[in-house]
Structure 1
Amino acid sequence: MLYRSLQRQSQLAFTRPWVQLIRSQSTTIKVTTINPIPASQSPVLPEAQDNGNKDGNEKKKKEQFPNLPLYLSAFILGAGLAQLFPLNELAKFWISERLPAANSPHAESFRNNVETQLQKLPLYQKLYNDPDYKSVRAWNYVDSSTIDDVITTGVLAVPGGIAIKPVLFYNSRTKESVNIVHVGQRLCGYPFLIHGGILATLLDEIMKRGASFKFGIDPISDYKWDHIKTDTIELQYKFPTFANQFLVVRTKINENGDVEGRVETVNGRLLVNGLGKYSEPKFSVLPVIVGGGRSSSASASQSTGKSRFWPF
C-alpha cells in the first residue's frame, strides 16, 4: 500500500511539468458563425451587371436630351426651307417691309433722325469746329448703276441706303481727308453685312477725290469726277462691315504719291484698307476730217461751237 502511494506520487511529479508546458503553448480557436446573405444583397452576375449599366446609360441619355427628336425635325425642316427660300432673300423682304417709302413723310423723319445722329458724333463735332478742316456735303460717291447691280431696291438716297449726304472734311495743309457716311441695310449683300462692292466703290471714289491735292485741284470747289482716273487700287477687307452705322473713311497721300485709304467704324476699328494710284486723264480733240462733201461725227459736233473731249 505504501509502495503504490509512492509510485503514484512519482508519476504525478513526472507528468505535471509537461501538462503545464502544453497548457502554456496551446492556442484558442474561436469559431465565428456566418449569417446568411439576404436575397436583396445577393451577388450579381457580370452579364446582368452589364445589362444594368446599359439600361442606366440609355436612361441618362434620354434625360439629357429629351427634345432631341424635336431638334432634328426642326433642323430638317429649316434645311428644306433654306433650299426654297434663301436667307438673304428673306432678309431683304423683311427689311424692305420695315423701311419707309422714299417719298413718304416717314422717310423725311427717318432722314432727320439719321442727321441728328451724325451731328451728335464726337468726331463730327471735333472736325466741324477745327479751323484746319473745311467741309462739304456731297453725293458723288456711289452712282445708281452700282447700287442697282448690288441691290434689288433701286436708288441711292433712300431710307436704308445712304439716306443723308455724306460729310467730307479736308485739310489742305496735311492733304488728308476724313469722310463720314451712313450705310443702311439696303446696301447689304449678305444679311446685315454691307456688300463688298459698295465698300470698294465708296473707298475708291473718296480716295480719288483725296488724290486731287496731288494735282493741285481743290477737292471742295474744283473737283469733278472725270478730272482724275483710277490706275490701280488694292483693297484688303479686314473685318465684316455691319449695316446701320456710320463709317469713317480716311485718306492721305503718302511719300510715293499714292493714296492710302481706310474704312473704319466711329470707334476706330479697321474694316477695309486700300492703296490706290491715280492720275489725270489725257484729253484729245478728235480731228475734224472734211472731204468729199462729208464730215465725221466729230466735225458735226464742232459745228455747234463745242469741242468733244474723250478721256483715254
Structure 2
Amino acid sequence: MALPTQAELDSSLRDFVKRHPAAMELSSSPTSIVLNEVFAIPKHIAKLNVTEGVLRGPHLLRTAPIVIVDNSQQTVFAAFSLGNDLAGYPGIAHGGLIAMLLDEVMGKASLSVLGNASAFTAKLDVEYLRPVLVDDFAVIIAKVSSVEERKLWITGVVEGSDPGVTCAHARMLLIKFKEAKI
C-alpha cells in the first residue's frame, strides 16, 4: 500500500478540522484566526525548532498543524497529523511527544495575555487517560485559566480522532520573565 501524498495528508487534516465540533465553534468567533503553524518562526531557524523542523516529516508530524486562535477567548485549538515514527509503543504516540505538543500549544494560548513578552514553563502536569494513536490525528485545546502577576495557568486537553473523547489533560504554570511587561 502506497503512502498518502503530502496533498492527501494536508487535505485529510483540513477535512477533519472542518468537521471537529471544537474547531467549528472556535472558528465561528469573529475574533478567531486560522494558522498553519503554532509559532511564527523565521524559515532560516524553523528547521531547528522541534515542531516546525526537527519532528516534521512523512513519518513524524506529517503536515503543518492547523491552529485556530481566539485571543479574546484566550483559547487555541491545534490539530496535528501524527506519523508512525512518533510511537513510544507500536501504534501509540509517545507520551513525551504528547507532553511536548501540549507545551507548545499551551504556550501559544499564553500569548493572548503575554503579547510579545516571554515566559517559561515552570510546571507541566499531564494525566494520560487513554492512548493517542499514530497514523492518526491529535487535537490539543488550550485555554488560559487564570493570571496572577507574573504567573499564568493554562489548561489543556488532548483528543485523538474521536472529537470530545479526552486522551489526556494537563495544567501548566508559565512564569513571565521579570523584564517582560503584561
Normalised-by-shorter TM-score class: 0.7 to 0.9
Summarize deviations over 1:113-170 as a string: whole Å, max 9, x none. 11111221212873556533111111659986869xxxxxx94221121111111111
What aligned pairs does 1:1-312 form with structure 2 within 5 A after superposition? Answer: 110-121=5-16, 122-123=19-20, 126=24, 127-128=26-27, 130-138=29-37, 155-215=54-114, 217=115, 227-255=118-146, 257-266=152-161, 267-282=163-178
> What residue number does 1:16 align with?
none
Summarize deviations over 1:159-207 as a string: whole Å, max 9, x none. 1211111111111221111111111111001111100110010001111
Paired AA for residue 72 in structure 2? R
Which protein, 1 or 2, shows the higher relative CO under an 8 Å CA cutoff with sep ≥ 6? 2
Larger strand share, 1 or 2: 2
Paired AA for residue 31 in structure 2? D
Q: Classify the secondary structure of the residue corresponding to 1:165.
A: coil
**Do the aligned partners of 1:212 and 1:228 also contact (CA within 8 Å) in 2?**
no
Change (3 A) 1:282 1:182: same
Summarize deviations over 1:196-219 as a string: whole Å, max 9, x none. 11001000111111112222x1xx
Q: Classify the secondary structure of the residue corresponding to 2:35.
A: strand
Normalising by structure 2, what TM-score? 0.77
Q: Classify the secondary structure of the residue corresponding to 1:135.
A: strand
CA RMSD after TM alignment: 3.0
> Gaps spanning 5+ residues in structure 2: where?
none
**Do the aligned partners of 1:99 and 1:159 also contact (CA within 8 Å) in 2?**
no
Change (3 A) 1:161 1:99: farther
Q: Classify the secondary structure of the residue corresponding to 2:106.
A: helix
**Do the aligned partners of 2:76 and 2:108 also contact (CA within 8 Å) in 1?**
no
Change (3 A) 1:264 1:231: same
Paired AA for residue 69 in structure 2? Y
CA distance in 1, matches of 2:109, 2:38: 15
Of all paired residues, the percent bearing the same amino acid is 20
Change (3 A) 1:155 1:214: closer
Change (3 A) 1:143 1:237: farther
Summarize deviations over 1:255-289 as a string: whole Å, max 9, x none. 45410011112421111110011122246xxxxxx
CA distance in 1, matches of 2:30, 2:82: 28
Normalising by structure 1, what TM-score? 0.47
Q: Classify the secondary structure of the residue corresponding to 2:20.
A: helix
> What's the offset of the Cα at 1:99?
7.6
Summarize deviations over 1:229-271 as a string: whole Å, max 9, x none. 1111111011111111111101111145410011112421111
Larger helix share, 1 or 2: 1
CA distance in 2, matches of 1:111, 1:281: 39
CA distance in 1, matches of 2:78, 2:50: 20
CA distance in 2, matches of 1:208, 1:116: 27
